[in-house]
Amino acid sequence: MTLRVYGDSISGNCLKVKWVAQHLGRPFDWTETSVLTAETRTPEFLALNPAGQVPLVVFGDGRPLAQSNAIMLHLAEGSELIPADAYDRARMYEWLFWEQYSHEPYIAVARFQVLYLGKPAETLEPKLVERGNAALARLETQAQQSPFLVGDRLTLADVALVAYTRVAHEGGFDLALYPAVKAWVGRVEAALGVV
């Protein structure tokens, strides 16, 4: 059954769902749904996802599923993107939870404010910039230790974290300060076939 993915192409959270489906060869129909023009606030969309957020997947039987990491986990169940080893799988979850709490709220928010709201990077809230750089520093430490976040193979942890890290410069973050992160981004993009 074909999936319908409601997503906004400017959103890393939406793109990571798209990349997982593509990587796994899952056919899907993409419905561009702009958050900037409030397409997620229409009665039709809210009937599918009362939270009014993308990404949203609707399965062939009509069941909806929201939240990017939940969608990725569902799509990737039983695939090589989820480690078979229980400890490595838990480490992948650790990164997924960290991404939504300690990375995305800073890197993605700064990017949105600079790129889409036109705010000069130097006027961003200092705590936002400080926490974004702390997240990149944490990734730098891990990227110096292993080719991917959970060892030697691509997992959902890498997909989740590369989505906004690869465009962090659009929020005023200087990835040249994080050479291991830049190399990791390149490895993940190559593994996913992302240009």
The whole-number mean pLDDT for each consecutive block of 10 residues of the chain, a chain of 195 residues, reads 92 98 97 95 96 96 96 98 98 98 97 97 97 98 98 97 98 98 98 93
CB half-sphere exposure, 54, CA atoms < 13 A: 28
Domains detected in the chain: 3-76 (3.40.30.10), 86-192 (1.20.1050.10)
Half-sphere exposure of 43 (CA within 13 A, CB side): 0
* pLDDT of 178: 98
Q: What pLDDT is recorded for position 2?
A: 83
Helix (H) or strand (E) holding 56: strand 56-58
| The pLDDT value given to residue 1 | 64
Q: In this structure, which amino acid lies at residue 93?
A: Y
Q: What is the pTM of this model?
A: 0.95
CB 23 within 8 A of CB 82: no
